[in-house]
A and B are shown apart, each in its own frame.
Chain A
Amino acid sequence: MNVLFYSASLTGIGKRFLRIVVSHIPRDRIEICRSLAALDARLRRPLEGLAIAVFHITLVDELGALITRRDLLADFRTILVLPNCDEATTALAHVLRPRFVVYSDGDLPDASVVLGKMLQGTKKGIVPKGWDGLVPEVTTLQ
């Protein structure tokens, strides 16, 4: 089971979240997208192996852009990292039906626990088998 990690900024908080993901799963099973264009390119290929997505959102506009792609994201179990906890931002976030929401100003340990349990759940077969065997190369899409 692989993880899709989206962040337009792999410094600061983005980097810290990526470290959390890497602490749970080998780097070669993480596919990183660093722009919406890269995300689009990835979503238009077969998902095989990708079932969990972590989206580090730095701007509310990015969240809106993700919402326009929500049909393509429907097959993911999603963790959202939001830039703020404003009511409007939170309401937009729930349109994506995330399994967990954290905020850039904290909660990193919580996100780590949740990601760990998600990966554990997929190992237990909560997500059906049939994906294994096609592990992609280390991928970073710009």
Chain B
Amino acid sequence: MANILIIDDDVVMSELLSQAIKDRGHDILCTHTLTDGIAAAKASSFAVVYLDVILPDGNGLDAIPELRNTLSCPEVVIMTGAGDPDGAELAIKSGAWDYLEKPSSINMMILPLVRALQYRDVKLSPKPLMTLKRQGIVGSSASITACLDRVSHASENDTSVLITGETGTGKEGFAWAIHDNSRRADKNFVVVDCATLSDTLVESVLFGYQKGAFTGADRSREGLIKQADGGTLFLDEIGELPLAVQKAFLRVLQERRFRPLGGKEELSSDFRLVAATNRDLDAMVRDGQFRSDLLYRIRSFTIELPPLREHPEDIPALVSYHVSRLAERHGEKLINFSPEFIDSLKAYHWPGNVRELVNALERVLAEAGANATVFPKDLPSHIRVQMIRSALVGKSASGRPPSPAAAPSPLPKLQDLRDEAIVRVEKQYLKDLMAVAGDSIKQACAISGLSRSRLYELIKKYQTPQVQAYRYCPALPDDFHSGRTISAPAG
């Protein structure tokens, strides 16, 4: 038995879904606004959350990360009457389990629940304890813990791994951790920096060459693929790999065999591939810059590293770890960090991520005297300027006119704007209509030009204060009842 939460302002759908879930022996809680739903998710433990997109007080898609970050880390099933590919992509990228379009049959709505519960049974079942060597990966936030879980999982097998994340998030550190926790740890971890190898160089570096293979090849040289035999080959910035080399490398991945430049015989290499990139490889495939078959091969298992701004709760631990590490470089100093200093670090958006944080700390440490207490003023000026600008933009948004230098707020999608406008207008119209027509559905239909069924549909959809008195009664599917009598409900 599991606890399930439904956040949907469609009362009819909620009732139907609730009943079907209850029939399967689970406990259910329904809320009709995002605020209530998030509060419920934080207050109790849920295995699965059914989440509508267009809710009276916000967009459900925006709430996925917050729901996933609650203690029980529930699986989120999105259900929407206005499905669109962009919304579906956003939902999945935000960690949703599934994305369903309404109306769906109840069975279609229940299937993701069954699968999600099966998945959680496996995922949450007690696993043999394994001590993971973190290799300098610091943090205990939900997102970093999830990444470490993936590292642990990856190190148990030989699947190719693709690590994605912005510059400075620590992709190489995670790659090294996978290697160092794997059965290959006592063999080579070979780094290939694809961004620094020219098109002509990358092939000879990867595959090696025989003497006389090209002008200047006055001796044979072993390539990095061979050097990674038994160990791990780490292709950093794999998006920079030239197309011609991608084709050759795909074959190596498939067969673990290759021929050095100018060589007559094929060599074998039993390497495990870990690749990393900060580029959108799907977009590169669409633009013809990256081979789809190679992407398919390297994406067997992915680890998406979060930018630091998405897990600021790890900043105190990062500061503590790196200050200890840097102390070796700068000599032992007793440094105190004022609370404002840590708060400032948490408030900054860190475009260069952990690497930028470490650089900033090193500068602060270098300039701090012994027994010093450091304040936000001790941070590099470009960080302080950015923080002050952000604070001013925040104030502008809260009522003051924005300064000309302030960045304009991003425009919403036209579809979202249109949907919101329609919801607002329909809601208001319904309120006015009920005020004019009083209890008479017949009169309301006559005034509005709506059919009875359409009017009922709108009443069901909008539970505005004025129409909340008309509550849907499942026993009388074509009617509404309230403390008042609705005239002419039938027919």
A136 within 8 A of B: no
Question: In this complex, what residue of A is CB-closest to B363?
Answer: A48
Q: Is the CB of A128 within 8 A of B191?
A: no
- Cβ-defined partner of A130 (8 Å) among B172, B222, B360: B360
Contact residues, B350-366 vs A (CB, 8 A): 351-353, 355-356, 358-360, 362-363, 365-366
Give the size of the chain B interface in residues (CB under 8 angstroms). Answer: 43
- Cβ-defined partner of B191 (8 Å) among A85, A97, A106, A125: A97
A16 within 8 A of B: no
A37 within 8 A of B: no
Q: Is the CB of B191 within 8 A of A109?
A: no
- Cβ-defined partner of B363 (8 Å) among A44, A46, A121: A46
- Encode contact with B along A20-51: 1 for CB under 8 Å, 0 otherwise: 00000000000000000000000111111000
Task: Kindly provide the distance from the CB of B342 to the nearest chain A CB, expressed in whole angstroms.
Answer: 19
Q: Is the CB of A90 within 8 A of B196?
A: no
Given A48-B363, A100-B196, A117-B198, the answer on whether A130 and B221 have CB atoms closer than 8 Å is no
A71 within 8 A of B: yes
Task: Kindly provide the distance from the CB of B463 to the nearest chain A CB, expressed in whole angstroms.
Answer: 50
Contact residues, B318-334 vs A (CB, 8 A): 325, 328-331
A19 within 8 A of B: no
Task: Kindly provide the distance from the CB of B474 to the nearest chain A CB, expressed in whole angstroms.
Answer: 59
Q: Is the CB of B191 within 8 A of A121?
A: no
A110 within 8 A of B: yes
Contact residues, B173-188 vs A (CB, 8 A): 176, 188
Task: Kindly provide the distance from the CB of B383 to the nearest chain A CB, expressed in whole angstroms.
Answer: 8
Q: Is the CB of A130 within 8 A of B193?
A: no
How many CB-defined contacts (below 8 Å) exist between A and B? Answer: 94
Q: Is the CB of B198 within 8 A of A128?
A: no
Contact residues, A111-127 vs B (CB, 8 A): 113-114, 117-118, 121, 125-127
A75 within 8 A of B: yes
Q: Is the CB of A94 within 8 A of B189?
A: yes
B312 within 8 A of A: no
Q: Is the CB of A128 within 8 A of B196?
A: no
Chain A's interface size range is: 35 or more
A105 within 8 A of B: yes
Q: Is the CB of A130 within 8 A of B356?
A: yes
Question: In this complex, what residue of A is CB-closest to B224?
Answer: A101
Contact residues, B71-116 vs A (CB, 8 A): none
Q: How many angstroms between the C-alpha atoms of A126 and B190 in the bound complex?
A: 21
Residues of chain A lying within 8 A (CB to CB) of residue B390: none
Task: Kindly provide the distance from the CB of B124 to the nearest chain A CB, expressed in whole angstroms.
Answer: 35
Question: In this complex, what residue of B is CB-closest to A113?
Answer: B198
Q: How many angstroms between the C-alpha atoms of A52 and B167 in the bound complex?
A: 17
- Cβ-defined partner of B328 (8 Å) among A72, A94, A129: A72
Question: In this complex, what residue of A is CB-closest to B351?
Answer: A128
Q: Is the CB of A85 within 8 A of B221?
A: yes
B380 within 8 A of A: yes
Task: Kindly provide the distance from the CB of A37 to the nearest chain B CB, expressed in whole angstroms.
Answer: 16
Q: Is the CB of B216 within 8 A of A117?
A: no
A99 within 8 A of B: yes
Question: In this complex, what residue of B is CB-closest to A118?
Answer: B196
Q: Is the CB of A46 within 8 A of B362?
A: yes
Residues of chain B lying within 8 A (CB to CB) of residue A109: 216
- Cβ-defined partner of A46 (8 Å) among B189, B190, B227, B366: B366
Task: Kindly provide the distance from the CB of A44 to the nearest chain B CB, expressed in whole angstroms.
Answer: 6
B130 within 8 A of A: no
Residues of chain B lying within 8 A (CB to CB) of residue A71: 325, 328
Question: In this complex, what residue of A is CB-closest to B360?
Answer: A130
Question: In this complex, what residue of B is CB-closest to A72?
Answer: B329
B39 within 8 A of A: no
B56 within 8 A of A: no
Given A45-B329, A48-B362, the answer on whether A128 and B190 have CB atoms closer than 8 Å is no
Residues of chain A lying within 8 A (CB to CB) of residue B331: 44
Q: How many angstroms between the C-alpha atoms of A74 and B325 in the bound complex?
A: 11
Q: How many angstroms between the C-alpha atoms of A126 and B167 in the bound complex?
A: 7
Q: Is the CB of B330 within 8 A of A128?
A: no
Task: Kindly provide the distance from the CB of B333 to the nearest chain A CB, expressed in whole angstroms.
Answer: 12
Q: Is the CB of B358 within 8 A of A126?
A: no
B168 within 8 A of A: yes
A65 within 8 A of B: no
Task: Kindly provide the distance from the CB of A91 to the nearest chain B CB, expressed in whole angstroms.
Answer: 6
Can you list 30 A-B contacts with CB-CB less than 8 angstroms, sorted by A residue number? Answer: A44-B328, A44-B329, A46-B330, A46-B365, A48-B366, A71-B325, A75-B358, A85-B221, A90-B227, A94-B227, A94-B231, A97-B172, A97-B189, A97-B191, A99-B193, A100-B197, A114-B193, A114-B196, A114-B197, A114-B201, A117-B195, A117-B197, A118-B196, A127-B355, A128-B167, A128-B351, A130-B356, A130-B360, A130-B383, A131-B359
The 4 tightest CB contacts between A and B, nearest first, are: A128-B352, A46-B366, A99-B193, A117-B196
Q: With contacts A91-B188, A117-B195, A130-B359 known, what are 11 further pairs, Cβ within 8 A? A: A46-B366, A48-B362, A72-B329, A77-B193, A97-B176, A106-B216, A107-B221, A110-B201, A126-B167, A129-B382, A130-B352
- Give chain B's interface residues, CB within 8 Å of chain A: 136, 167-168, 172, 176, 188-191, 193, 195-198, 201, 205, 216, 218-219, 221-222, 227, 231, 325, 328-331, 351-353, 355-356, 358-360, 362-363, 365-366, 380, 382-383
